[in-house]
Each structure stands twice: as structure tokens, then as C-alpha cells.
Amino acid sequence: MTLADTTDLDVLAGRVDAAVAALADLDPAARAAAEELKTALEGIHRAGLTTIVSRMRADDGARPLLFDLVDDPVVRMLLTLHGIIRPDPVTLAERALAAVRPQLHSHGGDVALVRIEDGVAFVRLEGACNGCSMSSVTLRELVETALRQSIPSLRAVEVVPAEPSPAVIPVESLRMPPRPADDGWVKVTRAESVPVDGITVPADGVIVVNLGQRLSAYRNECAHEALPLDEAILDASAGTLTCPWHGFCYDATSGECMSAPGVQLEQLPLRIDDGDVWVRTGR
């Protein structure tokens, strides 16, 4: 069988694993030569693929084809192996937490993924678990084990304090007292500058959505591959926000993904002071 005879991901991955395992049976000199050949070929492939991806992404006509190709499992595996695209840790984490939730629910509790940043998963423990027969230490160990097994590159798991979910704030909200500048709040724009049933990108890493005179702020990263949402499509009648890259669709007021259950945009707390829109961007 040649590579042209199949595009089955499991078959291709199995052939790679078998070839790598066969290297162990070679004498040291032959193994060193084979590994050097492998490294050299991988370097050529990585350089060529990087050039192809960069040029396709820079070309308006080729960009849609590139994103279609990335969704192919074999192409995705190839680009991931060469470090050209990164796996989606948020989706992996949500799947891992979904697997342990039945056990947490049996103790009256739950867990929510807050964010993943610099190899650290931040989670919030919810419900009665902290006071039930399952100790908080045991609960944390259960969650951490599940996450580490699903995301080998994870450096740590941090439990953040429980706090109310960020609220959607009406434009006509009452004036709130000023907050200190060092507590993570940033003045990003004027409320009237955010078009009704539109979005704006008022600050680095932030988008603000105005759906029917109700403002919501999100980190400017699609939960799929962390690509920017500058050109996202807001459907006011459906109340949805659609990523322009791969079509992931979100509830515009909560950030909940409607394309992949359990995935979520990172919503940022938002308030309005004298017509100024403030967003808490601090971690």
C-alpha cells in the first residue's frame, strides 16, 4: 500500500509509529543516520508547509481554501506535527471535564473551565462539593488528573474563587462610581460609538457586541483556534455571533458556542460610567 492509496488517519499514524519503533532495532550508527535523515526531511517539510500556509493566508482568494484544508484530519495532523497550527486546548479541556462531571454531580457539585492561559488551566469549583464527603483536595486532584491526561502540555491547574458570571449591561445603565486604574478595568470606548446590532474592536484583545442596546465584551479570540473575531458576523434576529474563519457560532449575549457544546467565548466584565465603556481585562 502506498500513501496515495489511503488517506485514513489511523492507517497513516500507524505507519509512522511502526517506522519510528523500527529505528530502535537498528545498530547505533544506522539509527543515528536514519534519525538525521528524518530530522532533515522534517525540516524541509516544515519550511515548505510554513511558506504555503503563510502565502495562502495572505491571499484573499486562497484563504477560504486554506481553512477548508485545515479542517481535514490528515492535513490538521500534518500541520500540528510540524507546529504550524496548535491543537485546541479549550475543546480538549471541556471534553475532559465533561467526562468527570457525573462523578462531581453525584457529590452535589460541578466544575467550570474559566480559561487556559500560558499552559495553565483555570477552573472554578461550583455547588456543594467543597462541603460534601469528597474533600476539596480530592476534587481538585480528580479535575487535574482529567485535564493533564487530555492536555499533556498543561503545566498546572489553578482553582479560582467562585464569583457571579459577567452580566450583560444595558447602555442606559446607571452611573457607577469610578474604579481604581490598577484593578484591571480599562476604558475602551464611548457607548454611543458601538453601533446598535454591531460589534467594535475598541482595544487590543477585546471586542464589544451591541445587541439591541445591550453590551457584552469578550476576549477577541474564537474558542476554536484563538483566531480574532474582528470581522465576525452578528445576526441580530438570531442573537448569534459567527466567527469568520471556520464558522463557529456563538450566543451573542453569553458567548456560549452553538456549534460545539461546552465551548465558550471568554466573556469580560463590562460597565458604563458617564457614557464611557469600561472592560475588566485583567486576569
Q: What are phi and psi of 226, to 5 degrees?
A: 65, 25
150 near 93, Cβ under 8 Å?
A: yes
Q: 137-171 burial string, b = 16+ CB within 10 Å, else e?
A: eebbebbbebbbebbeebeebebeeeeeebebbeb
Q: How far apart are CA 226 and CA 118, in angstroms?
A: 13
270 near 208, Cβ under 8 Å?
A: yes
Of 2.60.120.560, 3.30.300.130, 3.40.718.10, 3.30.300.30, the CATH number of 89-159 is 3.30.300.130
The CATH number of the structural domain formed by 169-280 is 2.102.10.10
Q: What residue spans in the chain does CATH classification 3.30.300.130 cover?
A: 89-159
pLDDT confidence of residue 218 = 92
Nearest in space to 202 (alpha carbons), one of 281, 100, 121, 122 = 281
pLDDT confidence of residue 85 = 65
Binned at pLDDT 50, 70 and 90, residue 223 comes out as confident
Q: 178-197 pLDDT, tens per residue?
A: 444 546 788 888 888 889 99
Overall average pLDDT of the 260-273 stretch: 82
pTM reported for the whole predicted model: 0.40
Overall average pLDDT of the 111-115 stretch: 85
Tell me which amino acid residue 252 is: A
pLDDT at 209 over 90: yes
One-letter-per-residue 3-state SS of 18-74: HHHHHHCCCCHHHHHHHHHHHHHHHHHHHHHHHHHHHHHHHCCCCHHHHHHHHCCHH
Element (H, E) at 182: none
Kindly state the DSSP code that residue 256 receives in the 8-state scheme. Answer: B
pLDDT confidence of residue 92 = 74
Residue whose entry in the numeric block shows the C-alpha cell 495562502? 56
Q: How far apart are CA 98 and CA 116, in angstroms?
A: 16
Q: What residue spans in the chain does CATH classification 2.102.10.10 cover?
A: 169-280
Give percent above pLDDT 70 in the chain. 81
Q: 76-98 pLDDT, tens per residue?
A: 778 777 767 655 677 678 878 88
Sheet holding 120-127, edge to edge: 109-117, 120-127, 156-159
Distances (CA, A) of 51 to 48, 57, 84: 5, 10, 10
User: What are the cell numbers at 58?
Assistant: 495572505
Element (H, E) at 7: none
Q: How far apart are CA 197 and CA 215, in angstroms?
A: 10
Beta strands in the chain (DSSP E): 109-117, 120-127, 156-159, 169-170, 185-190, 198-203, 206-211, 214-219, 233-235, 240-242, 249-251, 267-268, 270-273, 276-280
What sign does the CA torsion over 71, 74, 79, 81 have? positive
